[in-house]
């Protein structure tokens, strides 16, 4: 099933960003346009993602981190998506989302709003719109069970409107697990075609649904089949991410690869943290073939190698030069010189928890409350 969402309005944007070194300085009468990419690659582990050459390359030019999401009582699995779009911990009282028309239905939006007292659904896209910026969503997680577009929770504005398209986003794949796969060629073609038509988005969200589909089919698959299908889906996602980033017309881009949820296999071994990769720079220089990977951090966690999903929205807004609303509890992500947190993840798996300081209201298992913020409120300086 395909849906044509409202067309995005193209505006050039500029800003500052806290991750890594800045690009070459030069006198400019007008700021250079910037573009942010957010790739949603769901239900995969830290090691699985970093084993993909393109993702490991991004962790060299930028960094990689571990993100933890402690579900709120009423969440049914899509809370991390809404958390990314709201910049604050949120819950979603449904396990699938099937938008119609130009975005999230008023019925679903009403349920989501009533479930969230401390988060503002759609705040990321609305913050961009209020500053003359734009966003677009391409792709979906449709499967044999029906339509599913959780990425809309990231890309919608406060009225539930989503700009972009998932037209032709999937292809029949009878020999593959789930019998449906992402049509990367169609997504990339739509992205490039929109730009050629003058429809340029400052934030481009790609929902690459194959790993999510594999997870939905895992309970019905033979042992080892789901793992092999997930690895194949990740390799395809890595190739797509590099092609999409290199297709940008911006001299400076931000790339965020986020995994909103854990897979069945991850939960089986007690893996409660998901990977996040963030890099910025010139599109053609973000995929080095060699070099050390780096760790990420933010003032939300104050710990090397650890970030939070509500850090994504402030990171994107800061890069595009848009003020971060006080309602957002996250903070811009920074790159460290330290290596990517493979050892921290290993210890997490050994102890089934991360023993690090973290924001108090996230209720992370922590041996100490030192450095915690008291709860949702003004951003740290």
Query: How many angstroms separate the CA atoms of 77 and 72, rounded?
Result: 10
**Are 209 and 147 in contact, with CB atoms under 8 Å apart?**
no
Q: Which tens digit of pLDDT belongs to each residue from 200-210?
A: 999 999 999 99
Query: How many angstroms separate the CA atoms of 168 and 184, rounded?
Result: 9
Alpha-carbon distances of 162 from 3, 116, 183, 211, 281, rounded to whole Å: 11, 20, 20, 23, 27
pLDDT under 50 in the chain at which residues? 1-29, 354-381
What is the chain's length? 381
**Are 155 and 127 in contact, with CB atoms under 8 Å apart?**
no
Instruction: Return the domain boundaries, the chain.
Output: 34-362
Q: Which residue has the tokens 């934030």?
A: 203
Residues 120-133: b if buried by 16+ CB within 10 A, e if exposed: bbbbbbbbbbebeb
Helix (H) or strand (E) holding 156: none
Alpha-carbon distances of 353 from 70, 273, 365, rounded to whole Å: 12, 9, 7
Which is nearest to 259 in space by CA: 238, 274, 242? 274
Q: In this predicted structure, what is the pLDDT of residue 93?
A: 96
Q: In this predicted structure, what is the pLDDT of residue 33?
A: 85
Q: In this predicted structure, what is the pLDDT of residue 69?
A: 80
pTM of this structure: 0.86
CATH topology for the 34-362 domain? Alkaline Phosphatase, subunit A (3.40.720)
Q: In this predicted structure, what is the pLDDT of residue 30?
A: 52
Q: Which residue has the tokens 């895992």?
A: 218
Which is nearest to 297 in space by CA: 53, 62, 39, 12? 62
Give the tokens for residue 110.
């009403």
């Amino acid at each position: 099933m395909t849906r044509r969402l409202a067309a995005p309005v193209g505006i050039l944007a500029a800003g500052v960003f806290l991750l890594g070194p800045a690009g070459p300085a030069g006198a400019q009468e007008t700021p250079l346009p910037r573009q942010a990419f957010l790739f949603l690659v769901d239900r995969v582990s830290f090691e699985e993602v970093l084993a993909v050459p393109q993702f490991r390359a991004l962790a060299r030019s930028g960094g990689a981190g571990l993100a933890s999401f402690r579900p709120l009582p009423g969440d049914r699995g899509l809370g991390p998506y809404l958390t990314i779009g709201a910049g604050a911990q949120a819950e979603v009282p449904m396990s699938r989302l099937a938008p119609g028309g130009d975005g999230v239905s008023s019925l679903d939006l009403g349920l989501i709003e009533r479930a969230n007292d401390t988060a503002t659904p759609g705040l990321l896209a609305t913050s961009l719109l209020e500053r003359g910026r734009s966003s677009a969503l391409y792709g979906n997680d449709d499967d044999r069970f029906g339509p599913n577009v959780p990425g809309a929770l990231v890309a919608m504005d406060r009225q539930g409107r989503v700009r972009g398209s998932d037209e032709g986003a999937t292809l029949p794949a009878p020999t593959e697990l789930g019998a449906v796969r992402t049509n990367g060629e169609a997504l990339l073609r739509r992205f490039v075609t929109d730009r050629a038509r003058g429809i340029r988005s400052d934030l481009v969200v790609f929902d690459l649904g194959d790993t999510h589909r594999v997870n939905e089919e895992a309970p019905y698959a033979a042992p080892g089949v789901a793992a092999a299908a997930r690895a194949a889906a990740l390799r395809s996602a890595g190739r797509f991410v590099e092609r999409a980033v290199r297709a940008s017309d911006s001299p400076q881009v931000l790339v965020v690869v986020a995994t909103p949820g854990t897979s069945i296999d991850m939960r089986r071994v007690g893996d409660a943290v998901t990977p996040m990769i963030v890099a910025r720079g010139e599109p053609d220089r973000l995929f080095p073939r060699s070099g050390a990977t780096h760790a990420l951090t933010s003032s939300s966690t104050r710990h090397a190698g650890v970030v939070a999903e509500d850090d994504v929205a402030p990171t994107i807004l800061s890069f595009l030069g848009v003020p971060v609303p006080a309602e957002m509890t996250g903070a811009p992500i920074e790159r460290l010189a330290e290596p990517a947190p493979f050892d921290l993840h290993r210890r997490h798996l050994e102890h089934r928890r991360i023993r690090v300081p973290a924001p108090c209201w996230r209720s992370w298992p922590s041996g100490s409350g030192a450095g915690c913020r008291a709860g949702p409120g003004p951003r740290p300086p």
